[in-house]
Chains A and B, each alone.
Chain A
Amino acid sequence: MAAESTSNGERLKQGAPGGGGFFQTAIGRFSARNWALIFLFIMIVIFSLGSSGFFDIVNFQNIIHLSTGAFLLAAAELLVVITGGIDLSIGYVYGLSSVLGAKVMQILYAGGAGGAGSMPVWQVIALGCLAALSVSILPGLANGVLVTRFRVPPFIATMGMWGICNGITLFLADGFMPVMGAPSEINAIGNSYFLYIDPSKSISFFAKPSYITQANIRSVLRLVPNSLFLSLAVLLVLGFVLGRTRFGKHTYAIGGSMDAAIRSGINVNRHLVMIYVIASFVSGVAGLFNLFQTGIGNYTPSGANYELMAVAAVVIGGASLTGGKGRILGTAVGVLVLAVLENGLQIIGVSAFYRYIGVGVLLTIAVIIDRAFPDLF
């Protein structure tokens, strides 16, 4: 019976395009494994040849800067996907954190900047961050408890949390209004660069030279946006945790085979709760940074599909939705593929709407390649 069952499974798999001769060679296997990276390079070459504005350090930094949220959300999603689950709530935890942080800062700051008895600005910002970050843990905790103690499928638990977070965010945002009134200092943190070089005069760190105004800021060479540090820090820490620690090994083990993980003595329930909490927290950090970048608390618009875009990046980066597979580096490449696609299409003047189609096509290709070479990754 068992043999027959596998042969049926095999027969179904036959439908996938088989790896022909080329893909048996070393180069073939390499290109199949790293197709996303190769695709990224090809895109960069095409966009660079197709327009003058694309291949430019300012544009590249722009891409990185605008993808901060995507990097963090995708990293959060990867953790959950490796365990074989899925987290659909992260996009709305992102919005919740952004709006809550803005709301707290708005209320504390309302006394008037520098007015008598008002709080120092740094304290306002710190309390706002603290509130947003501590609340952003809660959805993850609830997800984890629901998935482990109540045996609710991750899809349903996190989809319910999507609704709950979205509702609370819209309540805080007073209907569909971005939350204004946070101190403007946060913009300086979110949008400044590590290095400012004025070719003729000076170099300064973290803040633009005082004689430069917003109007002539373009004459200064700005390098390494602060957002890059945040993305790198999160990606490196999570990459280290996944690749080098016991916690990471257990994460892959749970995704590979839940039963084997339980039998080998891993406290699977506690581990899963931690995974959902970390995912939720990282999404909260992403939402908070969105507040720092834009200066206003943005709720997640319906149909934005941040969480699905994160899943897309994770899958393009080589992870499998059945769990046990996926790396931070691949996920970062996945995010870059989507970001470069969007940015490049805009710059060469193709309607940006093609990117939705592009994402769909890429995602399907990713899975078909994954199916065709199950042992590659």
Chain B
Amino acid sequence: MQTETAEKQGTLPELLGRNWIALFIVLLVVFFSVVARSFFSFDTAQLIFFNGTEVFLLAIAELFVIITGGIDLSVGFVMGFATVVSSKLMVACVALGFSPFWSILAASVVTLLIGLVPGLVNGWLVACLRVPAFIATFSMLGVTHGISELLTQGIPTKNLPALAGDIGNGSFFYVAPGGAISFFSRPQVARGQTVLAIIPNMVIFAFLFIFLFAFILGKMKFGRHLYAIGGNIDAAIRSGINVKRDLIKAYVISSLFASLAGLSYVMKYITGKPDAGANMLLEAIAAVVIGGASMAGGSGTVGRTILGALVIAILETGLRIIGMQTFMTYILVGVILILAVIIDQVFPNRNR
């Protein structure tokens, strides 16, 4: 205990080394603000969170499994699966004569329930059949990819209720020029006047769940069990933790967050397609690792993972604003991912 406090205080370089991620975010913001004057604004900040919703959600999905020492390769395609299922259900409900609002709500709830199944199977394979997480979740990647392709037959879903787009691209409240505030719906104003939109709905939607599960991970017994399992599975078994049940829960939560990311995608882009999250696996894992979690398990927190995801979200939106193409994002995420691990070895004890 004493050594820990001594380390916590540390010298300045150590302090910086442990919190390099925050420093790095500041540097990124300064860099983009210098290069593009329009970057440093409230709108851009909102845009970063809005564009990054899926990355935030998938990073949390990955975090729960990585803490246990596993890996979930299926999150991207479970997300795609959720976009397909939810959009198909919405269209079906509207066709059955339900109002758009109830169709969207019902489809979302049912999708989240169906979205638990891949996680349940992953968890069962990993915990009960002792299939390595890499293999089990890669299998699930194939299965969810196949099923969503079969459902769409190669054509992205269309004809979603317009309300979905209104919710997905709307904001929590709007400030009209006179100072009037309206919630959830954009006020009618004269042409040329700007309405201030504050906090995108999807960001609220995502962070409600993220805060809830941050609480579960950080404060509840189940959360401590996950760290124990990742730290030393034998010790966890011996101390009477129901390892199988908790592992299954971790994979189910992962799958749940992937489905949430899928819902967010459907609301924002009003379409569902199997490969919606295909290239997000790298970003999700990178966010967790940049956030200081170890692939060996037993470490990582929701807060730091969000910081890691924020690095990626700032990079993506910032590079787009200064006119760089997608390829720079890939290169930089790759470089930062590797650097994160190296820096963490120089300055251990960053987490927990």
- Whether B138 pairs with A312 at a CB distance below 8 angstroms is yes
Contact B334 A356 (CB under 8 A): no
- Of the candidates A175, A302, A355, the one whose C-beta lies within 8 Å of that of B146 is A355
CA–CA, A146 and B329, complex, Å: 21
**Contact assessment for B146 and A367 in the assembled complex, using a CB-CB cutoff below 8 Å:** no
Interfacial chain B residues near A257, Cβ < 8 Å = none
Closest chain A residue, CB of each to CB of B280: A302
- Contact A157/B146 with A8-B234, A8-B237, A164-B331 known, Cβ cut-off 8 Å: no
Nearest residue, chain A, Cβ from B325: A175
Q: A151-B345, A354-B150 are in contact. Are A156 and B145 (CB under 8 A)?
A: no
**Given contacts A159-B337, A360-B143, A308 and B138 within 8 Å (CB-CB):** yes
List of B residues within 8 angstroms of A315 by Cβ: 135
Is B129 part of the binding interface, using a Cβ–Cβ cutoff of 8 Å? yes
Does chain A have a CB within 8 A of B286?
Answer: yes
Knowing A4-B238, A359-B142, A360-B138 are in contact, say whether A353-B337 is a contact too (CB < 8 A).
no
A12 to B238, CA, bound (A): 12
Minimum CB distance partner of B140 in chain A = A360
- Cβ distance A296 to chain B, nearest Cβ, rounded Å: 19
Take A150-B342, A159-B285 as given contacts and tell me if A364 and B131 are in contact as well, using a CB distance cutoff of 8 Å: yes
CB distance from B7 to the nearest CB of A (A): 20
Q: Indicate if A109 sits at the interface (CB-CB under 8 A).
A: no
- The 8 Å CB contact of A303, one of B129, B279, B330, is B279
Find residues 105-138 in chain B having any chain A CB closer than 8 Å to their own CB.
Answer: 125, 127-132, 134-136, 138
Residues in B whose Cβ lies below 8 Å from that of A359: 139, 142
A357 within 8 A of B: yes
Residues of A within 8 A of B329 (CB): 167
**Inter-chain contact A170/B132, CB cutoff 8 Å:** no
Please report the C-alpha to C-alpha distance between residue A169 and residue B326 in the assembled complex, in whole angstroms: 11
Pairwise interchain contact A16-B130, C-beta atoms closer than 8 A:
yes
Q: How far apart are the CA atoms of A171 and B146 in the complex, in Å?
A: 31
Closest to B333 in A: A163
Q: Whole-angstrom distance from the CB of A301 to the nearest CB of chain B?
A: 9
Instruction: Please determine whether B135 and A364 come into contact, CB atoms closer than 8 angstroms.
Output: yes
Distance from A232 Cβ to chain B, minimum over Cβ atoms (Å): 28
Contact of A15 among B130, B328, B331, B342 (CB under 8 A): B130
Report the nearest A residue to B340, measured CB to CB. Answer: A156
Contact with B along A145-169 (1 / 0, CB 8 A): 0100011110111011111101111
A155 lies within 8 A of B295 (CB)? yes
Residue of B nearest to A354 (CB): B146
A152-B131 contact, Cβ under 8 Å, with A163-B331, A167-B329, A167-B331: no
A13 within 8 A of B: yes
* Bound form: Cα–Cα A361–B142 in Å: 8
Q: Does residue B338 face the partner (Cβ distance < 8 Å to A)?
A: yes
Chain B residues positioned under 8 Å from A146 (CB to CB): 338, 342
Residues of A within 8 Å of B131, CB to CB, are: 364, 367-368, 371
Residues in chain A near residue B132, CB distance under 8 A: 321-322, 367
The distance from the CB of B297 to the nearest CB of chain A, in whole angstroms, is: 12
Chain B CB within 8 A of A32 CB: no
Nearest A residue (CB) for B133:
A321
Indicate if A5 sits at the interface (CB-CB under 8 A).
yes
**What is the CB-to-nearest-CB distance from B135 to chain A, in angstroms, rounded to a whole number?**
5
Say how far A168's CB is from chain B's closest CB, in angstroms. 7
Q: Are B282 and A159 in contact (CB under 8 A)?
A: yes
Q: Find out whether the CB atom of A164 lies under 8 angstroms from the CB atom of B135.
A: no
In the complex, chain B residues whose CB is within 8 Å of the CB of A354: 146, 150
In the docked arrangement, what's the CA distance between A48 and B96, Å? 44
Closest to A315 in B: B135
- B124 to chain A: closest residue by CB: A15
Residues 80 to 113 of chain A near chain B (Cβ within 8 Å): 86
Chain A: interface size category: 35 or more
Q: Which of B131, B275, B289 has most A Cβ within 10 Å? A: B131
Partner of B129, one of A4, A9, A371: A371
What is the CB-to-nearest-CB distance from B238 to chain A, in angstroms, rounded to a whole number? 7
CB distance from A166 to the nearest CB of B (A): 5
In the complex, what residue of chain A is closest to B339 when comparing beta carbons? A160
With A353-B150, A354-B150 as given contacts, are A160 and B334 in contact (CB-CB < 8 Å)? yes
CB interface residues, A 136-152, toward B, < 8 Å: 146, 150-152
| Contact bitstring B144-177, A, C-beta under 8 A = 1, else 0 | 0111011001000000000000000000000000
B141 CB–A CB distance under 8 Å? yes
Interchain CB contact under 8 A, B282 and A152: no
Q: Does B73 contact A (CB under 8 A)?
A: yes
A219 proximal to B (CB < 8 A): no
- A364 near B136: Cβ-Cβ < 8 Å: yes
Contact B142–A356 (Cβ < 8 Å): yes
Smallest beta-carbon distance B17→chain A, Å = 16
Contact A156 B337 (CB under 8 A): yes
Point out the residues of chain B lying under 8 angstroms from A171, CB to CB. 325, 327
Contact partners of B143 in chain A: CB under 8 A: 356-357, 360-361
Q: What residues on B are CB-neighbors of A15 within 8 Å?
A: 127-130, 244
Pick the most buried of B130, B149, B328, B329: most chain A CB atoms within 10 A of its CB.
B130
Contacts of A367 in B (CB 8 A): 131-132, 135-136
A305 at the interface (CB under 8 A from B): yes
Is the Cβ of A162 less than 8 Å from the Cβ of B130? no
Say yes or no: is A72 at the interface (Cβ < 8 Å to chain B): no
Q: Which residues of A contact B145 (CB under 8 A)?
A: 353, 356
* B330 x A166 contact (CB < 8 A): yes
Q: B341 an interface residue at 8 Å Cβ cutoff? A: yes
CA A303 – CA B142 in complex, angstroms? Answer: 11
Residues B130 and A361 in contact, CB atoms below 8 Å apart: no
Question: CA A303 – CA B277 in complex, angstroms?
Answer: 9
- The 8 closest A-B CB pairs, nearest first, are A163-B334, A303-B278, A360-B142, A167-B331, A356-B146, A360-B139, A167-B330, A302-B279
> Would you give 30 A-B contacts (Cβ < 8 Å), ordered by A?
A12-B130, A13-B130, A16-B129, A146-B338, A152-B338, A156-B289, A160-B338, A161-B338, A162-B282, A164-B330, A164-B335, A166-B327, A166-B334, A167-B328, A175-B325, A302-B278, A308-B73, A315-B135, A321-B134, A354-B146, A356-B142, A357-B143, A357-B146, A360-B141, A363-B138, A363-B142, A364-B136, A366-B135, A367-B131, A368-B129
Binding site for B on A (CB under 8 A): 4-5, 8-9, 11-13, 15-17, 86, 146, 150-153, 155-157, 159-164, 166-171, 175, 302-303, 305, 308, 311-312, 315, 321-322, 351, 353-361, 363-364, 366-368, 371
| Interfacial residues, chain B to chain A (CB-CB below 8 A) | 71, 73, 76, 125, 127-132, 134-136, 138-143, 145-147, 149-150, 153, 234, 237-238, 243-244, 275, 278-279, 282, 285-286, 289, 295-296, 325-335, 337-338, 341-342, 345
